[in-house]
Structure 1
């Protein structure tokens, strides 16, 4: 049975990286967009670019700091109202800094956990409130293959944050199982974005290829999807069973 077309899409963290790339890709598909991020000047420039390239779509933007749950609770429904409703929310905002635990970088690691876990949680709360009220919708949580196993050095806090998102999304999915609300956990592999500078591992793909694969997977609305599916789906299975010494060498 084909999935419904999600015409109105809200994306957090849309001013750069995967969020910006998804906005361009969905705009080219004729979708209407609500774009949110902290850097409003980049959002405004992106909005003008998308409307010039695709004059038939609607694009609304708003400043949003996912670290502030009150801000999220206010901005998400406001954007939905301005767009005439939202069919899909992509909780994409996140940061990728980090360092080995115990090396004097506790504040950096804490910031990663705060933004990636609690910021995404705030987005999920706002999105699910909308979807429960309308009885349908598609929540997309952007996780990472780094969340499958504990990772060392710069990926420790980042991987832990993504592991938390895997559990959060699955819990929400279980809560609304059998309803018209779909919840997808998406686990990208290594994609060449600013967030992965210094942490790009094997099989890294360029941003354009990664975004195309990401949007294709989101459109299929899986419970769990890997980006790109090859080689990351089989690699994910290996990561779950490999001994820690092998994980250390691979990452």
Structure 2
């Protein structure tokens, strides 16, 4: 069992949900996010509900790259080790390209991908020193193809995260260090609450339970929930460009 788990973006949504699931399983948690107030409230709740675990929290903007290394190392020092790091922090504010919204697209690219590199660097340095650990990179089903309009940059960042995960899997093959690429479909969170075209969307509790199960399997790649996104991913990949352009 991976006892000491670090989760970024843990104050809301999937990060908060995963923290609750692993707390109930008896795991020690290292939680970070920009909203320190929400983290502290979550810490009090989980410590009261599960007094036998440790819940550490620190405010962190993952785009403050030097702080990523300091916070991860600080958590490792306090807990003695980090067994799993979930690179979960991300945003979904991308805009169509060429309409004067470069700042939003740059912010999406930095948060979703450049910051994921920083988190992976910090986690892998710790894992290499420990000679053990499980790095979890949160990508998306949208990574399988390019998408039009507001989804374009977001999907591109998630495709980059998926490629990063596969490269790290090659680097760590045959070692005690595991790397997983998790590709969620539509799970109800604030990031997609107002999205009208969200096929097969599941509620947060259902999605989080499926996420935790997939992560704990430590497979190289997992679509979440498995049904229908695993078979649909193959359909999307194989779909001719002209047909894809008409239906998406």
Q: Shorter-chain TM-score: what band?
A: over 0.9
In the TM superposition, what are the counterparts of 1:102-251 in structure 2 within 5 Å? 102-199=98-195, 200-251=197-248
CA distance in 1: counterparts of 2:28 and 2:46, whole angstroms: 10
Structure 2 length as normaliser, TM-score?
A: 0.97
Question: For residues 174 and 244 of structure 2, what CA distance do their matches in structure 1 show?
Answer: 37
> In structure 1, what is the equivalent of residue 74 of structure 2?
78
Name structure 2 gaps, 5 residues minimum.
Answer: none
Equivalents in 1 of 2:185, 2:26: separation in Å?
Answer: 27
SS at match of 1:186: strand
Normalising by structure 1, we get a TM-score of 0.96
RMSD in angstroms over aligned alpha carbons? 1.1
- Aligned counterpart for 2:90 among listed residues 75, 94, 107: 94
Partner deviation per Cα, 1:115-157 (whole Å, 9 max, x = no partner):
0001111000000000000101000000000111001122111
Query: Offset of 1:248 from its aligned partner?
Result: 4.1
SS state of the match for residue 207, structure 2?
helix
**How far is the alpha carbon of 1:84 from its aligned partner?**
2.1
Other structure's SS at 1:196 match: coil
Kindly tell me: are residues 250 and 48 of structure 1, through their superposed partners in 2, closer, same or farther at Cα, counting changes over 3 Å?
farther
Q: Structure 1, unaligned stretches of length 5 or more?
A: none
Aligned-pair CA distance for 1:74: 0.9
**Partner Cα distance (1:247, 1:25) in 2:** 37
Count of residue pairs the alignment pairs up: 247
Structure 1 CA distance, aligned partners of 2:240 and 2:194?
Answer: 24
> Counterpart of 2:150 in 1: which secondary structure?
helix
> What is the alpha-carbon distance in structure 2 between the residues aligned to residue 21 and residue 82 of structure 1?
23
